[in-house]
Amino acid sequence: MTNTIVSADAHILEPPDIWANWLPARYQDKAPQLAKDADGGDAWLFAGAAEADPIGLTATPGMPWDQFRWTGVTYDEARDGCYRGAARLDDMDADGVHAEVLFPPQRTIGHFLGDDDDDFVRAGVDAYNAFLWEEFCAPDRNRLIGVAQIPSTGIDDAVDAVRKAKATGFRSVVISMWPSGKDSISEDDDAFWAAAADEAMPVCIHINMISRRARAKAREISAKRGGRQLYGSGSGQAGAKAAAGLSGVFSTVPSTIGQL
């Protein structure tokens, strides 16, 4: 019998044209823009940031470990499979991987989720989810299992987003903060869990949970320091999962844990 390998935590490097192609024109002035890092590599510049974030270590697939570097990496050097679905399938075939569960790029999505303009947040999340479903995963959605991002604009939008994701065909969603927008899990999140259960939609927590308010504070600190504020991920992820488990949500709505 041949064992089937499924990567349960894969990622996409956002393609250089993603926001130009998928984000409405009225938001282009705030969209992440391609720039150059100090060593001539490609980087994403976020509105209000003091410096651009290099693609560096997010473009390492296929590179020997001793060639990993934070700056000086261009899209021309990155494998096409980092950001093109058809090429990703070729890479998966070479690696013997049957399917991948694909989570969003953390930095550009974080830029949208932390913004204080609800319309901009919704537009960015919708643009990413549309790209993921209609472009990246389109070559084979049974093997390229995209996880839809839930916006950070409150419980009503979170409920609408999980229902839209299900109607589109997504098999899972990811939350980066509690659906109500509060700093910790609360009864105000119940409508989201109920909607996810009703749609039989598994809910993922990836790396960390951070409130919109905290994201804005980190952006302010980053601007003052002339760089990016980084977060430790391990304790945040463990704390978020523990909070969800101890709240009783998994026993109350067990279908939020399910098979993709």
pLDDT tens digits, 96-150: 999 999 999 988 898 899 899 999 999 999 999 999 999 999 999 999 999 999 9
Query: What pLDDT does residue 216 have?
Result: 57
The token pair at 151 is 């916006």
% of the chain beyond a pLDDT of 90: 65
Query: What pLDDT does residue 39 have?
Result: 96
pLDDT mean over 151-162: 96
Amino acid in the structure at residue 90: D
Going from N- to C-terminal start, the domains of the chain cover 6-15+84-256
In Å, the largest CA–CA distance within the chain is 57
**Mean per-residue pLDDT of the chain:** 86
Query: What pLDDT does residue 235 have?
Result: 44
Say yes or no to pLDDT of 236 above 60: no
Q: What are the pLDDT digits (tens) for 44-101?
A: 999 888 889 999 999 999 889 998 999 999 999 999 999 999 999 999 999 999 999 9
Say yes or no to pLDDT of 247 above 90: no
Q: Whole-angstrom Cα distance, residue 141 to residue 143?
A: 5
Q: Which CATH entry fits the domain spanning 6-15+84-256: 3.20.20.140, 3.40.190.10, 3.30.1300.30, 3.40.50.300?
A: 3.20.20.140
Helix axes 155-168, 118-131, angle to 10 degrees: 20
